[in-house]
Chain A
């Protein structure tokens, strides 16, 4: 097992280098000069501009940080490979760079600020997904062809087909606008932002609509996977064996069927959690959620490359780690899977 984990962690390195390299290449292809964007409509003082370019390593500098000039007196743009080496070197020293637009703020501090919101939202969403998805799937499978089964099948079909941002907007419209008007402002849910000083609601209330939106599609998939898995498992010979032993239907389902049916479901939920931790750009944008998804979206539109680079780098690592955890958890759920040097090798 230890050997397997080490092997997987070593695989992170090429993936990590590849992703950062692609991002660097993209940064150079996408038009728009970040320093000019920083200034916006205003005309930038040439000396300030030069200093900024030097600070962000956009032009070659000498050991004192002064811009290097060629024989014509022009500054020399830093080649991409050099900036990449500088970036990776910074990463190895725990430095994710400095934001272009949020002046002077380090990318690390911005992400540290945003990530907790994404993590908390993801956890709430994953709980909804697991509880509602597995529950609905079980009811659907165990009461096959009943009213509840048809309802679950119908609702999950609609949910799977519905884009998250549209569902988010519909929820905002209903809970934030329609309900507010209908009850004369007595009952409604917040539709934008999260907790802050002088917030109108308790903290947790802000999570309701974004978490539902974020969880909706995955919950529908979870319910469908759970239903089909449980139906398949209930037809297995070992279920008949368990019944022949005299176990009650409840024991057969909870002890013999569920553990087998859950293996693929847990995998799906795990991978989905990795995806959510990457920040849900659409959901966070619709709800003005101050998480990494929204921050990444903002950074892209403003050509704030250090933030894009930083957040994607962190996201890549997080997703890889979660996938590794999911893979390791297989071995605990399914004894047939053994990693590394086992007795079946």
Chain B
């Protein structure tokens, strides 16, 4: 396979982003995650902080409207710009890793797509979030729940299918079972098998 696109969806705190970064390193591929934010910031003149606040966020239903495919919501337009960006990259023949952005559905027409969804046990996710964000247990659980709710609404609105539904992905993996490193090893083997097909 000359082109490979690895799409990594993830629950918050599951280590999905770290897994995506490591896979990008092992396969020597560019990764589109934070890069997508700076790309859009440059294009819109908004700051990266402003884009980050609107990134992978659902629109407010009360302050936005959609007319014949046009939307006044900045969240919607940022999402559309990101979808266009990854689609153009895919169409250009580039191989890359992309984190989130409904990429498993937006790029599903590409045979070279390997779509992964990383989940984790709540206890493990809380522990991880407590360490990274310096939070207590209750705060971490609340934070995870809010982030996942936001991602779910964003995904379901733009795709119309359920976020995390295993039928959307090639593999859904619980990173708490093998730990982050061994999960990466496992996924590397799977991707290599797909590439040699």
A and B co-occur in one complex: no
